[in-house]
Amino acid sequence: MAGMSALVVGSGGREHALCLGLARSESIAEIHCAPGNAGTAEIATNHPFSEVSDLIHLAFQLDVDFVVVGPEAPLCDGLADKLGNMGIPCFGPVAALARLEGSKLHAKQVMKANNVPTAAFHVLGKDSDVEAALDDFAGNPWVVKRDVLAGGKGVVVTSDRNEARDFIKDSIESDGQVLLEEFLPGDEASMLVVMDGSGFVCLPASQDHKREFEGDKGRNTGGMGAYAPAPVYTDEVKDKTIERIVEPMHKALSSRRVPYRGVLYVGLMIDENNDPYVVEFNVRFGDPECQITMPLIASDLGDLLNSAARDKLADYDIKFHDKHALTVVLAAENYPGSVEKGRPIENVPGATSDSWVNHAGTITHEGQLLSNGGRVLACTAIADNLGDAASKAYGLIGQIELSGSHYRTDIGHKAL
């Protein structure tokens, strides 16, 4: 289909990357974004909405061909269900399937029912024997996961028994129950699978850097940088992942009355035997993984996303660039803690054919670019090898001026 219009929901670096990919698509004539940021405003029409009811009305008013949902919250709140009821195709699953991200216990139960490899776990409530459960997984760090959407703050991995016990008790107090998981050693990778009722397409696997400081130290963040493809995801790991994880999940999710339409983010732990285990599912593109995955797609992104929203993925022949992509996040002072918005940003370099700046928490006020969130910009580059991609991305980020901002200097180092 040529000349389509798309509405992208969200306001981060991920949504800017989606808009850039759609802007490159011959199938797309018009892009809208809600609420968007200063970067999306350059290539799409921004609309100041983020409530589900407003988004439904907007999609109807604009009469878009399809909607692409970036973040998980509106999906968990039923945005795809409501668009579906109105006959508007949506890239992003209905609420019942978005629970794969919304409830970690639900995700565990689905994995168990479909024999998908994942860590062993206990569900603990107020009457559970917490000490016995801690004993069960002693000898390794304890992994405690809250069963709610917690914005990246719902997981504690610790070798301190007191810390594990306190987090368990606090979580039971606030949520009623909590998961205690067996620790999985290994290397992590993020695998994005675009799927619908008719088929699935695996995108290149990437590696995120979730901690705030070099050497994976400091607090957990939404992601400080990423690169793709990830060398830990070898052909052997890929074959095992598809056979043991992607195919059974697709079978389960596509056989439903309303199938899964969107992207399933599979957070993998790959052990020393090259066996993959699922650490988490997300029901959306990763951020910043999206920023480096979109530029590796050589096929028309609008056609891919629209096909998935309409159950037309079967036998989709996707093409990728044989390149490496890397992105480095520029974060505001004190991120991932609370940040001050509204600081001026200067010297943002212009895009070239192989390097550019993704906007995340940015806004323009009276012609001045201002910070508007924790992760402010992401500097992204694509090259024939990872080292060149890193040099180009770091060449961009070194030019930008934002008071108090920080970034990690070791993105991609593990693979270099």
Residues lying near ligand GLY in the complex (CB under 6 A):
208, 222-223, 282, 286-287, 289
- Shortest distance, position 267 Cβ to ligand AMP, whole Å: 5
Of 316, 287, 352, nearest to 18 (Cα)?
287
CA distances (Å), origin 52, targets 10, 49, 204: 11, 8, 31
C-beta of 47 vs 108, nearer to ligand GLY: 108
Give the binding range for ligand AMP (CB under 6 A) out of 76-84, 169-177, 180-188, 190-198.
180-188
Whether the CB-CB separation of 49 and 58 falls below 8 Å is answered with yes
119 binds ligand AMP (CB under 6 A): yes
280 binds ligand AMP (CB under 6 A): yes
- Shortest distance, position 297 Cβ to ligand GLY, whole Å: 18
188 binds ligand AMP (CB under 6 A): yes
Question: How far is the C-alpha of 344 from the C-alpha of 239, rounded, in Å?
Answer: 47
- Shortest distance, position 39 Cβ to ligand GLY, whole Å: 18
Considering only residues 241 through 270, tell me which ones interact with ligand AMP, judged by CB under 6 A: 267
C-beta of 19 vs 119, nearer to ligand AMP: 119
Residue 123 interaction partner, one of ligand AMP, ligand GLY, none, beta carbon < 5-8 Å per kind = none
Give the binding range for ligand AMP (CB under 6 A) out of 67-75, 178-186, 320-328, 368-376.
178-186
Residue 155 interaction partner, one of ligand GLY, ligand AMP, none, beta carbon < 5-8 Å per kind = ligand AMP
Residue 282 interaction partner, one of ligand AMP, ligand GLY, none, beta carbon < 5-8 Å per kind = ligand GLY
C-beta of 102 vs 223, nearer to ligand GLY: 223
78 binds ligand AMP (CB under 6 A): no
C-beta of 223 vs 229, nearer to ligand GLY: 223
C-beta of 282 vs 405, nearer to ligand GLY: 282
C-beta of 286 vs 373, nearer to ligand GLY: 286
Residue 181 interaction partner, one of ligand AMP, ligand GLY, none, beta carbon < 5-8 Å per kind = ligand AMP
Measured in whole angstroms, the distance separating CA 126 from the mean position of its chain's CA atoms is 32
- Shortest distance, position 101 Cβ to ligand AMP, whole Å: 10
Question: How far is the C-alpha of 184 from the C-alpha of 169, rounded, in Å?
Answer: 23
- Shortest distance, position 188 Cβ to ligand AMP, whole Å: 6
* Dihedral over Cα of 350, 351, 357, 363: its sign: positive
β-partners of residue 270 are 187, 276
C-beta of 78 vs 267, nearer to ligand AMP: 267
CA distances (Å), origin 177, targets 97, 118, 149, 181, 381: 21, 20, 14, 13, 43
Residue numbers of the site for ligand AMP (CB under 6 A)?
119, 143, 145, 155, 157, 181, 183-184, 188, 210, 267, 279-280
